[in-house]
């Protein structure tokens, strides 16, 4: 199974990423955390199988009325130039280009292709 580890509530868990389409067996390794809070995470990752760069965003929508929270992840494949730029840029790189990048979105409704990814954290 293509997998990566993701932190949620301070615990690492294995996440199935076999839907990623960069190679036949995608395995992601975090290169740089760009932002992290209680409910959000942004990181630059690279596939150890093929070398493709990926931008990973996680957000937890907390259900304060009871019931399950909605955990949502976006995976956006980057060009080599964008990946290298994010790797070397300072504190808060401009992520506005993500709005127009096709991405994979994984939430309680399943995995699907979407036209773009959020350009900033929710919290």
Q: Radius of gyration (Cα) for the chain, nearest Å?
A: 14
| pLDDT tens digits along 21-68 | 999 999 999 999 999 988 899 999 999 999 999 999 999 876 667 666
Report how far residue 80's alpha carbon sits from residue 82's, in angstroms, rounded to the nearest whole number.
Answer: 6
Are 94 and 112 within 8 A, CB to CB? no
pTM metric for this prediction: 0.85
Q: Which residue has the tokens 């067996």?
A: 25
pLDDT of 70 > 90? The answer is no
């Amino acid at each position: 199974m293509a997998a990566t580890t993701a932190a949620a509530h301070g615990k690492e868990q294995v996440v199935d990423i076999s839907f990623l389409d960069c190679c036949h067996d995608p395995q992601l390794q975090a290169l740089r955390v760009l932002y992290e809070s209680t409910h959000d995470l942004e990181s630059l990752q690279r596939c150890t199988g093929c070398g493709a760069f990926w931008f990973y965003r996680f957000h937890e929508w907390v259900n304060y009325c009871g019931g399950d929270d909605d955990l949502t992840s976006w995976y956006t494949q980057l060009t080599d130039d964008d990946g290298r730029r994010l790797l070397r840029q300072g504190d808060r790189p401009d992520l506005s280009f993500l709005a127009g990048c096709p991405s994979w979105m994984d939430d309680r409704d399943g995995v699907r292709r979407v036209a773009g990814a959020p350009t900033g954290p929710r919290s």
